[in-house]
Amino acid sequence: MIIAAGQFAVTPCWETNARRCVNLMAKAAERGAALLVLPEALLARQDDDPDLSVKSAQPLDGGFLTLLREESRNNTMTTILTLHVPSAPGRAINTLVALRGGEIIARYAKLHLYDAFSIQESRRVDAGKVVPPPIEVAGMRVGLMTCYDLRFPELAIAHALQGAEILVLPAAWVRGPLKEHHWTTLLAARALDTTCYIVAAGECGNKNIGQSRIISPSGITLAGADDTPQLIVADADGMALQQFRAQLPVLVNRKFAPPQLL
């Protein structure tokens, strides 16, 4: 199964960003991808206005997703991304959506809001309350996560205990001292915690690092990007995953009860 991650620099114009998503979707489909992960908060972004993503929030039937759903009808690929959806005046929910065949087949409201490193996502964004079940893509089960969720191993482990074999992570990982080190270390750690493939797509604007990664269940980077717009692809082998889990049965050997997240 071919899995892909696409990254680009989000602009203040949602139409431009939608066209860039559509372009990456078409390129991934041409490469034979069954799964494409795009970055977090794709509607709009501007360096001098940290609230623009929320101000630009659209409903799920808005223009942005309408364009992506039209492209999704052209293939059987599953595309995953996040956008802000209005929740109350001046507030929104950071919502992951999975598209396939022109339809929204799953959604997830981000659980862990980024209230760290002098940023307070919760000031304008409402947190989710539900851990979504895995979805199936080309015979493999996929767990849904978003950006800051990466720092909380309980969520990744909960997905794996529900049968996930691949974890997806749309992200906008903010630049800063040691942040690139945190990103690469945490991606490898979550893969080893869960013996899952990880497909992480990072926004690559001025404030975010890009560096999309596809990680194997053994913590090895199978494909990686720098901080420029691009598409990366790799193969997810279900048989190889099961063989590695037989060698490293951490999900079976756990002595703690499954994490109670909520």
Across the chain, the runs of DSSP E, i.e. the strands, are: 2-7, 33-37, 78-88, 91-100, 103-109, 115-116, 119-120, 135-137, 140-144, 166-171, 197-202, 213-215, 221-224, 230-235
Judge whether 40 counts as a catalytic residue: yes
Asked whether 154 and 259 are in contact (CB, 8 A), the reply is yes
Domain boundaries, the chain: 2-253
pLDDT tens for each residue of the chain, 262 residues long: 999 999 999 999 999 999 999 999 999 999 999 999 999 999 999 999 999 999 999 999 999 999 999 999 999 999 999 999 999 999 999 999 999 999 999 999 999 999 999 999 999 999 999 999 999 999 999 999 999 999 999 999 999 999 999 999 999 999 999 999 999 999 999 999 999 999 999 999 999 999 999 999 999 999 999 999 999 999 999 999 999 999 999 999 999 876 666 6
Q: Give me the catalytic one of 21, 121, 147, 203.
A: 147
pTM score = 0.97
Q: Give me the catalytic one of 21, 40, 121, 196.
A: 40
Q: Give me the catalytic one of 110, 121, 196, 203.
A: 110
Asked whether 74 and 67 are in contact (CB, 8 A), the reply is no
Judge whether 147 counts as a catalytic residue: yes
Judge whether 110 counts as a catalytic residue: yes
Selecting from 4.10.80.40, 3.60.130.10, 3.90.25.10, 3.60.110.10, what CATH number does the domain 2-253 have?
A: 3.60.110.10
**Angle value at C-alpha 5, between 83 and 108, nearest 5 degrees:** 35
Q: Give the total residue count for the chain.
A: 262
